[in-house]
Amino acid sequence: MITRVRSVIRVEGVVQGVGFRPFVYGLAVRLGLGGLVGNDERGVFIEVEGAPALVAEFTAALSASPPPLATVERVSARPAQATGETRFAIAGSAGGGPRRTLVSPDVATCDDCLREMDDPADRRYGYAFVNCTNCGPRFTIVRDVPYDRPNTTMAGFAMCAGCAREYHDPADRRFHAQPVCCPACGPRLRLLGPAGGPLPGGPVEEAVRLLRGGGVLAVKGLGGYHLAALASCEPAVAALRSGKRRREKPFAVMVTDLAAARLLCEVDEAEERLLTSGARPIVLLRGRAESARLVAPSVTPSGASRRRPGDRWLGVMLPYTPLHHLLLRGLDAPMVLTSGNVSDEPIAYRDEDALARLGGVADAFLVHDRPIHTRTDDSVVRVLRGRELPLRRSRGYAPRPLPLARALPRPVLACGAELKHTFCVARDAHAFVSHHIGDLENYETFRSFTEGVGHFLRLFDVVPEVVAHDLHPEYLSTKYALALEGPLAGARPVAVQHHHAHVASCLADNGAPGPVIGVAFDGLGYGPDATLWGGEFLVADLVSFERAGHLATVPMPGGAAAVRQPWRMAAAYLDTAYGGAVPGDLDVVRRNAESWEGVLALGRRGVNAPLTSSAGRLFDAAASVAGVRDVIGYEGQAAIEWESLADPAETGRYGFRLTGSAPFVVHGADLVAAVAEDVRAGTETGVVSARFHNTVARIVAEGCARVRRAGGPSTVALSGGVFQNALLLVRAAALLEEDGFHVLTHGRVPPNDGGVSLGQAVVAGARDARR
């Protein structure tokens, strides 16, 4: 008699909506095993029965070769009584009980679906909503878990007989693909005029005609509306810019394929992987001179006058929905694709709202009737040191969980900071960092935040017992955390200092516990001494930190005005550097002569001039003194342009001083004075920029060496928005590594404030564990 064994198996991770059950079914049938597989709130459950060796092979294959979109985190098995079952079946989803499943991010259209879309004999030929278990909308259409069709925005579309057959056939690629549909039963495209009335003709054909003719098109995407224009058409791009009231921030372009991307930009291997990944982020790439022919100047207007042609960074992405593919094939040229909003509003994602808000910008609307449940912007990444550096982590990434090195004792909600806001829900060993919410400065984004929190708590079945927030009393996220009502009212509030959160986010990003020397360079964050921090050397672990060093404080004349007008920081720094006798022949003084003395007086009197140690403000001051930018149109603009101008061949640097100890102080004014002297001597701006960057990199290395000499750790974490600067990050990391430091940088969450919520969550969790 042959021995039979039966095993009850549980698989946890991202295992729903990713073709896991058909994979399990196929595996069991191939091995001739009996049993069943099903979804429940915790993931996938399996019972399997047959010869011991085959059951073992089956179990091993679950984690060794899962379907491409699955992330298997744990497979646990226990023996059960064999029943003699020889057939294998797929069970329906079970309801009730605690939800422990994970929702997949949205995934770019797969090659199999594209083949069908291109095949005139296929019933989905030319269909803009083709998808399967390996691709298509996920997070943006999920209303609730378990991930089944009635819990998605596809609930209103009844499957036709053909789709139902595929959906129920375990051997089919669309088996249990929740958004499965076809032209007979699924969503449909429509082309509408700016007032919402239908336009005649084929929607895609007419949309392409409009783009070719220099029109601006609003397109409903996965996570919201985009505005599109033919990238080579300067008048169209300029019209889009003025309609959006976005004067200077670069637009991203979408191109047909990798070959088209290579025509515009240099693309290395890591960048190629990201461009073609299922997440399909916007990848920042170094533009080629040839791009000038295909991409109009207005796509990247900032600082254009100072650059050599082609010497610019371009945000490039490949099509990720069938509709994008159809549009680009029709257009056969790069297309500007930018978020569908005006000014700083969040991206529009509801149909009526999009018509109302974008009607003044778009000449037509390419829409469809599949609702978007969660507004999700395109993600933005760049490659540094051969590794992905996220700048905005949203569509295609959220809500994939980030693993935590240590499980949390109690569930945590981290409310994030303010700019580039995200929140984070964490339980056990998982952190769910939200999609990008935007700048938390108005009612619309605040509502996205609070609704998003509710959605995440439902999806991941979390009732937070700890609520983490920033120290800044005026952040809306802080106020929200301190005023929670209902079931969350009893949660323990934990205040986490902004730069400690940055450093902790870098630790969590790398699965490291610390202690570490955290270099947190960013715009502004509230310090425990009520000054505005931002040029910090912290010795930190996940629980606490000590301030080991920082930039010398300077006044920010006019407060927030000094953020928008870098020349005010130039004034404050020069006043410090020259002891009140700023050389009058400096261009920055001449350019701002009218208000110069008044601004100096504000700083000297300390009236409406909060003190800051911000590295971002130091970069602003230097950029202004060098004549790059006195006033900015978007956050970080002066520093971004300052970096892009740097001459990569220049290796020189300025002198600098670090004085005192515990904490030591870095005299940033020395740098600004050195920049001023170089400018007075007529040194080329690119050389001045490179020398400035080289000096800051050297300061980072010297500061860390000092901390280590005083008994500090030999691992360094580089975090904060200033470390989006490629030149600084690469040079600082190289110097640190030469000096024997182990260097941690970001790879999963952004170094900017988009990563702060993760840092808050792990700090709050670590403190909670010590309760």
Q: Which is nearer to Zn ion, 109 or 724 (CB)?
A: 109
640 by DSSP, 3-state: which? Answer: helix
Distance from first CA to last CA of the chain, Å, rounded? Answer: 58
CA–CA distance, 378 with 384 (Å, rounded to integer): 20
Q: Which is nearer to Zn ion, 64 or 184 (CB)?
A: 184
Q: Which is nearer to Zn ion, 19 or 301 (CB)?
A: 19
Nearest approach, Cβ of residue 183 and Zn ion (Å): 7
Question: What's the chain's Rg over C-alpha atoms?
Answer: 27
> Which span sits near Zn ion by CB under 5 A: 127-135, 216-224, 324-332, 398-406?
127-135
Give the number of other Cβ atoms within 10 Å of residue 593's Cβ: 10
Nearest approach, Cβ of residue 189 and Zn ion (Å): 16
Nearest approach, Cβ of residue 184 and Zn ion (Å): 5
Which of 494, 465, 475, 495 has its CA nearest to residue 421?
A: 475
In 552-653 the beta strands, taken as DSSP E runs, fall at 554-555, 611-612
Nearest approach, Cβ of residue 322 and Zn ion (Å): 9
Nearest approach, Cβ of residue 172 and Zn ion (Å): 12
> Which span sits near Zn ion by CB under 5 A: 106-114, 360-368, 384-392, 524-532?
106-114
| By the rule CB under 5 A, 132 interacts with Zn ion | yes
Nearest approach, Cβ of residue 182 and Zn ion (Å): 3
> Which span sits near Zn ion by CB under 5 A: 16-24, 131-139, 408-416, 522-530?
131-139
593 by DSSP, 3-state: which? Answer: helix
Site string for Zn ion, 62-101 (x = CB under 5 A): ----------------------------------------
Which is it for strands 715-719 and 516-526: parallel, antiparallel or unpaired?
A: parallel
**What b/e sequence results for 156-180 when a residue is b if at least 16 CB atoms lie within 10 Å of its CB, and e otherwise?**
ebebbeebeebbeebebbbbbbbbb
Binding residues for Zn ion restricted to 666-705, rule: CB under 5 A: none
Q: Which is nearer to Zn ion, 111 or 594 (CB)?
A: 111
Nearest approach, Cβ of residue 179 and Zn ion (Å): 10
Nearest approach, Cβ of residue 228 and Zn ion (Å): 24
Q: Which is nearer to Zn ion, 163 or 496 (CB)?
A: 163
| By the rule CB under 5 A, 114 interacts with Zn ion | no
> Which span sits near Zn ion by CB under 5 A: 85-93, 162-170, 288-296, 744-752?
162-170
CA 719 to each of CA 100, 133, 470, 542, 642: distance values in angstroms, whole numbers, following the listed order: 32, 37, 16, 14, 19
Q: How many residues bind Zn ion (CB under 5 A)?
A: 10
69 by DSSP, 3-state: which? Answer: coil
- DSSP, res 741: -
Q: Which is nearer to Zn ion, 257 or 344 (CB)?
A: 257
> Which span sits near Zn ion by CB under 5 A: 102-110, 145-153, 363-371, 593-601?
102-110
Q: Which is nearer to Zn ion, 162 or 627 (CB)?
A: 162
> Which span sits near Zn ion by CB under 5 A: 125-133, 342-350, 390-398, 592-600?
125-133
Q: Which is nearer to Zn ion, 174 or 427 (CB)?
A: 174
| By the rule CB under 5 A, 135 interacts with Zn ion | yes
Residue 327: enclosing H or E segment and its boundaries?
helix 322-331
> Which span sits near Zn ion by CB under 5 A: 152-160, 249-257, 320-328, 586-594?
152-160
Binding residues for Zn ion restricted to 182-211, rule: CB under 5 A: 182, 184-185
CA–CA distance, 329 with 232 (Å, rounded to integer): 16
> Which span sits near Zn ion by CB under 5 A: 176-184, 241-249, 523-531, 722-730?
176-184
> Which span sits near Zn ion by CB under 5 A: 154-162, 296-304, 391-399, 686-694?
154-162
Q: Which residues contact 427 (CB under 8 A, 6 or more apart)?
A: 408, 411, 412, 460, 462
Nearest approach, Cβ of residue 130 and Zn ion (Å): 7
- DSSP, res 305: G
Nearest approach, Cβ of residue 256 and Zn ion (Å): 18
HEC secondary structure over 708-727: HHCCCCCEEEEECHHHHCHH
Nearest approach, Cβ of residue 127 and Zn ion (Å): 10
CA–CA distance, 396 with 767 (Å, rounded to integer): 32
CA–CA distance, 355 with 194 (Å, rounded to integer): 7
Q: Which is nearer to Zn ion, 54 or 113 (CB)?
A: 113
Q: Which is nearer to Zn ion, 135 or 219 (CB)?
A: 135
Give the number of other Cβ atoms within 10 Å of residue 748's Cβ: 22
CA–CA distance, 693 with 451 (Å, rounded to integer): 41
CA 387 to each of CA 272, 278, 318: distance values in angstroms, whole numbers, following the listed order: 12, 17, 19
CA–CA distance, 569 with 567 (Å, rounded to integer): 5
| By the rule CB under 5 A, 18 interacts with Zn ion | no
Q: Which is nearer to Zn ion, 163 or 230 (CB)?
A: 163
In 635-721 the beta strands, taken as DSSP E runs, fall at 658-659, 664-666, 715-719
Which sign does the torsion angle of CA 764, 766, 767, 771 carry?
A: positive
| By the rule CB under 5 A, 163 interacts with Zn ion | yes
Nearest approach, Cβ of residue 43 and Zn ion (Å): 22
Q: Using CB under 5 A as the criterion, which residues of the chain lie in contact with Zn ion when the complex forms?
A: 110, 113, 132, 134-135, 160, 163, 182, 184-185
